[in-house]
Structure 1
Amino acid sequence: MSNQSDAHDFLVEIGTEELPPTALLKLSNSFTAQVAAGIKTAGLSYTGVQSYATPRRLAIVVSGLDSQTPEKDVIVWGPPKKIAFDADGKPTKAAAAFAKKNGVGIDDINIENDGKAEKLVYKSLKAGISATELLPSIIQDALDKLPIAKRMRWGAERTEFVRPVQWIVMMQGSHIIECSILGFSAGNTTRGHRFHCDTTLAIENPAAYATLLEHSGHIVPAFETRKAMIRQQVVAEGEKLGGAAVIDEDLLNEVTGLVEWPVALTGSFENRFLEVPPEALISSMKEHQKYFHVENKDGYLMPHFITVSNIVSRDPSQVIRGNERVIRPRLSDAAFFFETDKKIALETRVEKLKSIVFQAQLGTLYDKTQRMMGLAASIADSIGSNRAYASRAAELSKADLVSDMVLEFDKMQGIAGRYYALAQGEEEEVANAIRDQYLPKFSGDQLPESLTGCAIALADRLDTIVGIFGIGQPPTGSKDPFALRRATLGVLRIIVEKRLPLDLRVLLKQAQQQYSHLSAGENLVETVLQYMTERFRAWYEEEQINAEVFMSVSEKGLSQPLDIDQRVKAVNRFSMLPEAQALAAANKRVSNILAKLDSQAAIGSVDNTLLVEDSEKNLAELVEQKAQQLAPLFANRQYSEALTSLAELRVPIDAFFDNVMVMVDEESVKNNRLALLKSLRSLFLEVADISLLVPAK
């Protein structure tokens, strides 16, 4: 236990030029975690940790930190007594050497039994190490481990950090910890707001740090507190307009990383800009200006924006007018691009795709759309959607990539294509599919609305996956330049969540056939299939489904994602039944028995006239009944109901193994019993190999 009377609060602050706002929270969390881990590893106790992060600082206050590590009992064993002393009981050179090694005299050495023999032993109390001695290296190590993609140097210094450092604070209680971090000597002075309090502020002690910054420095130092203030202010501004501010969490984090004293202000733009696709306006406001947009009660964009200033202005209207002047040219550009792009037919733009390389060995984007047309049409046939719509949507799918709108606002890909397709009289389902081809964009994102959208989204991803594997560039380690992992999960999500009756093996063969130069044969398809089905493992891990459950299904080598998912969910529910482990063990036992046979060719069907024991007669009758009862359940993929029914066999199976010897001398009886076990196991294998649910020893 630490002695809290010897504990003090500890403060470290790294003052810098403006830190990258999108990385600020990640840097702060990493810094805090590394410092806390370093303190724990050093053997120091504390009562709490509070992190602070603003554009110009990363700081941590550790409450109740021990002033030193605990004292330790040190026991050093030496040579055996018979070696340490001669026949006359006088110390030998070995005893003298042991005493000298420990810096004491012979009289300070004891003789004790270590459980094997009597030996020399020296016991001492090792003093603790002071926190002031340990903390500088703990902080330096934490800074070295920060997730910084590219470090900077400044001036003539060799020191590197994410941004130029301006000051360092290191305090234990009211005392400065004398050390040098990142080329600066630690002190007890911080700095206030760049505009409202451009001066140094002396810190009395770590506990006073946050209050000093807020009351005197005009700074809200805690990231989460500042974030909550911004959210509250932005919501309030939206309500004043009679609408609702739309708060994107990534944008909120970024804005929180841009300001130290947030003040939300509302600006406006001309109604004429509302004729432009709202996604383009929102993208411009969000990506370039870091503004929050506002929607009315019907969900339509309002001609207003909310900006978060870093100062309290004496004349807020001037700040608002400045922001309105800045946003107007951006929105004008979007309006110009939209009107200009609509004058060029998407079909004309398709031709321009011939000059854009998709991948050097896989051709141009034009080549890709041609392959997608054939694959999307085949998928459409399989899922009962419109083949012509799917083919047309695939043909036009990448045309907007050469539009001015997408060249300026890259997140408008697909979205711009939808608007241009509608403007040129394409079917709405075709236009929507052009937009939906990129869905889902990330984990948990929405899926394509229509079956045509699903066909295009699947065709796009499958073409890429098969093509990249086909030229021998699958993902390796952390390298996945074509985002095949994300593409695979997108394919699986669409098929499973949209409940599409698609077979991956068939789809991969169809995708391969669209290429004229990829190697033929089963090897490529099977390699890709194995890679894709393996992605299910991570999927189910996130759903807290044990790996054994997934393995019991994957052992069957299935290739229909929806069917695999239904089986996994059924086996997972089955694994929670009280009978599950006993039945899994029984299946394991049966599997082992059958595996030891030289051949199963001699095992035919069960002959009831060869059944001798009551237990085997009973089990045989029940297995036959279950086979008839479960046939329609298996046919309708009602796997959960089937396994629940099979759970009723636990008692008769246990009775069989308790009372019946399988491997008897009489060949016909033995083979008949093996046939019974094989038919029993076959019932379970209709769903999965549940023998794999038995925990590995």
Structure 2
Amino acid sequence: MPDLLLELFSEEIPARMQGKAADDLKRLVTDKLVAEGLVYEGAKAFATPRRLTLTVHGIPARQPDLKDERKGPKVGAPDAAVQGFLKATGLASLDEAKIQRDPKKGDFYVALIEKPGKPAIDVIAQFLPVIVRTFPWPKSMRWGARSARPGALQWVRPLHSIIATFGMETEEPDVVHFNVDGIEAGQTTRGHRFMAPDEFSVRRFEDYEAKLFAAKVVLDSARRKDIILADAKTLAQAQNYELVEDQGLLDEVSGLVEWPVALMGSFDKDFLSIPDEVIRATIRANQKCFVVADPATGKLANKFILTANIEASDGGAAITAGNERVIRARLSDAKFFYDTDLKTKLEDRLPKFDQIVFHEKLGTQAERIARIERLAAEIAPLVGADVEKTKRAAKLCKADLLTEVVGEFPELQGLMGKYYALAQGEDASVAAACEEHYKPQGPADRVPTDPVSIAVALADKLDTLVGFWAIDEKPTGSKDPYALRRAALGVIRLLLETGVGISLRVLIQEAYFSVLLAFQYGSYYVFLRQLEGFSFATVTCHFRDKEDRFYARLDRSSPVFICEAKDEKERYSESSVTFASHLEHNYNLLKELVSPDTLAADLLSFFADRLKVQLRDQGARHDLVDAVFALEGQDDILMIVRRVEALAAFLATDDGKNLLAGTKRAANILAIEEKKDGRTFAGSPDEALMTNIEKHLWRTIQSTVVEANDHVRNEDFESAMETLSTLRSAVDSFFAKESGIKVNADDKAVRENRLKLLNEIRAATRAVADFSKIQD
């Protein structure tokens, strides 16, 4: 069957657009082929800086013939209906229609329409111009004298020529004739802009690809990447260095060249005093070059590798020298930024955060840092971190956002904080936390192990989650502008991979308290203080002005203002309408926040969903997560996962499967009877009303529950599951036909007693999970 070759040759296409453009071209053309009845065998698209290419093989030579039978009006219908039928079907008269007889509905006309298929080349010639004109570039332009005309072609860069050939592999292909804005499709293209600029003719894809290569164009981007990587490694190894691989840069560079040539340049050794990451970011961002490292030290060498698009007659000396000049200037700027940053301590930068708003409803960056510092100090003892070091790290962790280097290279935030902290003599744990508190930022990112880093990282992510939950800015559908799903997964990974067992509810409550702490409105501050434990039922707001003169107390349960002086012996006349209006304003703002109990429940549910995603990606069953979360008070991620793992192992055994079946049978019977009676069957059953089999089951349940609960309290979930397995035989005996036990006995007292016994079976398994949530 024939093949199609299509090339759209233009000026340089931005590298970031090439991959999607190739995919779009393939999708648009192949979708249209299928829609026209031309089902193909395979297709592949390519992109270089100056061309988009598509090859589709195994296309039928013509469309299939179509036969359609269209029902018309009844015989004897009004003339208007008949004329409409003839016009719609293309028939000249009713003589060309047949009459279909229906004893019940009456006779009606039927048109037999035969539509012969068109040659595939004609169909392709019709839709290709439309695809070219409507191609979905993110940005496009018009050019030349024709650009002012209505309907002028818009393309990412000026389009110069089009190849479109169609034909059998063994025959000379035909040109698919069409015109786009004065550009006629043909079979002529050009090679490399400088090394082979002349036109040449092609026939089909194999011929096209071979001639392009001879004309110094590597069509396949994957092949260009392989060439760049292999040549760069060879150059580095020749001087006893190692290439610092960078997949993102490799993808970009391969879209900048059609004939890749790797060259090595150098820069002054003095620049090696700058952190390696700054050197790499500078060279990468400005010149799209790779850096190399000394394998003996692991530090960067004063060398770089660039990718040229030409085999220069001087061996690339001029190209290398030009890149060295630019890199020298860029590194000089970077060194100036770095040296300038070192002159100002991190804590001296903090006052500027007072003027930077984090979120209009969540205050400034300074207020956020204060929240993180307070929350991190609460978390520190729970993860074994030094409280003072944790507070210091939390205070400094965002300071590098105001440095010159991070302003130039935002991707280095956190990392530069570590360098600056070490340079000013901070503790190693404090410095590490400045970098690691952002981690993990994705499933492949590492999790910090230093306790101080863990405490600050948890505080940072929980403040974000609770803050946006409090102002009702939760993720919706695919929209997550504040990356809250990533933050939740980060908390989960921090807890799981560091083996930290903490109540999420307590952390959420502490974070909520911090979110409400230290808001500033006008000249007044609002502080919240817990009264009894951390019950949100009664929270008192304390207000005072900047001089700490006025003091007022506001109970959230009622807007009653009690204004007092700091020194209770004094009274101030200002504690009147003006001050009360500030209090009322703050009180109304507080009332707009999501209630803390609602927030805690909703956010825990969000964590449960994220945990299911995490465990499902690891091959675990999400229904087991539901079964554990269904128990009251399950908010320790580490313990939940351990329960899930133990439960999965238990259910893989015969004892587990049979106990699950028995428990579900008991639960189903209970659900029916509870609905029928409109009541639950809680309470201990009476042994006096039991048979020997029932007594054995009841006593087994009692001993099992005590022992299983002991194991759960000791966090030994495997032993708890093993203990539950002893229920299996007793439950089986109860439900066995040979037992003669009928749950819905005629004697009402016996029936109720047996239903209570079923309730005890259900309750016994809840020591480890809610078995009703587990799928069979």
TM-score, length basis structure 2 = 0.79
**1:245 Cα deviation from its structure 2 partner:** 0.6
Larger radius of gyration: 2
Counterpart of 1:551 in structure 2 is 626
Match of 1:176 in 2: 175
Correspondence list, 1:559-598, <5 A:
559-573=635-649, 584=660, 586-596=662-672, 597=674
1:664/1:417 CA distance change after superposition, 3 Å: same
1:612 aligns to 2:670 (yes or no): no
Query: Partner of 2:505: helix, strand, or coil?
Result: helix
2:156 pairs with 1:156: no
1:631 and 2:709 correspond: yes
Contact kept, 8 Å, 1:67 with 1:131, in 2: the verdict is yes
Q: Give 3-state SS (helix, strand or coil) of 1:474's partner.
A: coil
Q: Distance in 1 between matches of 2:132 and 2:631?
A: 49
Task: Say whether the 8 Å CA contact 1:439–1:448 is kept in structure 2.
Answer: yes
Q: Could you say which residue in structure 2 is the equivalent of 1:314?
A: 313
Residue identity opposite 2:630 in structure 1: E
- Distance in 2, Cα, partners of 1:643 & 1:140: 68
The yes-or-no answer on 1:487 pairing with 2:487 is yes
Shift of 1:23: 3.4
| CA deviation after TM superposition for structure 1 residue 594, in Å | 3.2
Residues in 1 aligned to 2:451 and 2:38: alpha-carbon distance in whole angstroms = 60
C-alpha distance in structure 1 between counterparts of 2:192 and 2:28, whole Å: 27
Equivalent residue runs for 1:250-329 within 5 Å: 250-298=248-296, 299-315=298-314, 316-329=316-329
Counterpart of 2:330, as a letter, is R
Q: Which amino acid aligns with 1:564?
A: I
Give the deviation of 1:537 after TM superposition. Answer: 3.5
Q: For the structure 1 residues 647 and 118, does the alpha-carbon distance in structure 2 shift closer, same or farther, using more than 3 Å as the test?
A: farther
- CA distance in structure 2 between the partners assigned to 1:509 and 1:323 by the alignment: 55
Amino acid at match of 2:124: L
Are the structure 2 counterparts of residues 122 and 606 from structure 1 closer, same or farther at C-alpha, using a change threshold of 3 Å? same
CA distance in 1, matches of 2:128, 2:703: 71
* 1:132 pairs with 2:121: yes
Q: What aligned pairs does 1:60-139 form with structure 2 within 5 A after superposition?
A: 60-72=54-66, 74-75=68-69, 103=91, 109=98, 126-135=115-124
User: Deviation at 1:105?
Assistant: 7.5
Moved more, 327-336 or 189-198: 189-198
Counterpart-to-counterpart distance in 2, 1:115 and 1:240: 91
Aligned length: 679
Deviation at 1:394, TM superposition (A): 0.7
- What SS class does the counterpart of residue 418 from structure 1 fall into? helix
- Partner-residue secondary structure (3-state), 1:66: coil
List aligned pairs for 1:216-615, cutoff 5 A: 216=215, 218-298=216-296, 299-315=298-314, 316-514=316-514, 515-516=516-517, 518=590, 519=593, 521-556=596-631, 558-573=634-649, 584=660, 586-596=662-672, 597=674, 603-612=682-691, 614=693
Alpha-carbon deviations, 1:20-46, whole Å to 9, x = none? Answer: 213322332343344434434443233
Cα displacement (A) at 1:554: 3.6
User: What do residues 615-661 of structure 1 show as CA deviations (whole Å, max 9, x unaligned)?
Assistant: x4554454345435533442344445644664675665455345332
Q: CA deviation at 1:498?
A: 1.6
Greater displacement, 164-173 / 175-184: 175-184
Helix, strand or coil for the counterpart of 2:2? strand
State the superposition RMSD in angstroms. Answer: 3.5
CA separation of 1:357 and 1:95: change in aligned 2, threshold 3 A? closer
Mapped contact 1:261–1:311 kept (Cα < 8 A)? yes
| Residue 14 (structure 1) aligns with | 8
- 8 Å CA contact 1:95–1:106 kept in 2: the answer is no
Q: Check the 8 A contact 1:188/1:202 in 2, yes or no.
A: yes
Are the equivalent residues in 2 in contact too, given 1:171–1:177 (CA < 8 A)? yes
Q: CA deviation at 1:426?
A: 0.7
Distance 2:662 2:158 in 1: 67
Tell me by how many angstroms 1:305 deviates: 1.0
Q: Is the contact between residue 354 and residue 365 of structure 2 (CA under 8 Å) also seen in structure 1?
A: yes
Q: 1:123 to 1:20 in 2, by over 3 A?
A: same
Q: Is the 8 A contact 2:341 2:403 kept in 1?
A: yes
Is the 1:39–1:138 Cα contact (8 Å) retained in structure 2? no
Deviations 1:257-284 (A, max 9, x none): 1111111111111222111111111111
Greater displacement, 659-668 / 234-243? 659-668
TM-score (structure 1 length as normaliser) = 0.87
What is the CA distance between 1:538 and its match in structure 2? Answer: 3.1
Question: Unpaired segments of 5 or more residues in structure 2?
Answer: 168-172, 520-589
Hey, what's the Cα distance between the residues in 1 that align with 2:612 and 2:103? Answer: 51
- Deviation (angstroms), 1:183: 7.3
Q: Is the 8 A contact 1:354 1:364 kept in 2?
A: yes
Q: Offset at 1:138?
A: 5.9
Deviations 1:295-330 (A, max 9, x none): 222422121111111111111122212111111111
Quick check: 332-341 or 567-576, which moved more? 567-576
Q: Distance in 1 between matches of 2:622 and 2:126?
A: 41
Conserved 8 A contact 1:567-1:687: yes
How many angstroms apart in 1 are the aligned matches of 2:132 and 2:713? 60
- Does the aligned pair in 2 maintain the 1:9–1:207 contact within 8 Å? no
- Preserved contact between residue 129 and residue 179 of structure 2 (Cα < 8 Å): no
Q: Residue type matched to 1:591 in 2?
A: A
- The 1:569–1:170 alpha-carbon spacing in structure 2 relative to 1, beyond 3 Å, is farther
> Residue in 2 aligned with 1:3?
none
Q: Distance in 2 between matches of 1:524 and 1:440?
A: 24
Larger displacement relative to structure 2 (392-401 or 178-187): 178-187
* CA drift at 1:199: 3.3
CA distance, structure 2, for counterparts of residue 541 and residue 115 of structure 1: 58
Q: CA–CA distance in 1 between the matches of 2:304 and 2:20? A: 27
Letter in 2 for 1:426: E
- Does structure 2 retain, via aligned residues, the 8 Å contact 1:588–1:692? no
Hey, what does 1:199 align to over in structure 2? 198
CA offsets 1:482-507 (integer angstroms, 9 cap, x no match)? 22222222222212222211222211
Whether contact under 8 Å (1:273, 1:331) holds in the other structure is yes
Superposed displacement of residue 96, structure 1: 12
Is the Cα contact below 8 Å between 2:140 and 2:157 reproduced in 1?
yes
Q: Which residue is 2:568 aligned to?
A: none
Match for 1:307: what amino acid? L
Secondary structure of the residue aligned to 1:340 is: helix
Alpha-carbon shift at residue 290 of structure 1 (Å): 1.3
Write the letter of the residue equivalent to 2:25.
F
- Structure 2 counterpart of 1:594, one-letter code: L
2:99–2:107: 8 Å Cα contact kept in structure 1? no
Structure 1 unaligned runs (5+)?
Answer: 1-6, 86-91
- CA 674–306 in structure 1, closer or farther in 2 if over 3 Å, else same: same
Instruction: Give me the identity figure in percent.
Output: 35
**Offset of residue 571 of structure 1:** 4.4
The whole-number CA distance in structure 2 between the counterparts of 1:574 and 1:136 is 64
> What is the SS of the residue equivalent to 1:482?
coil
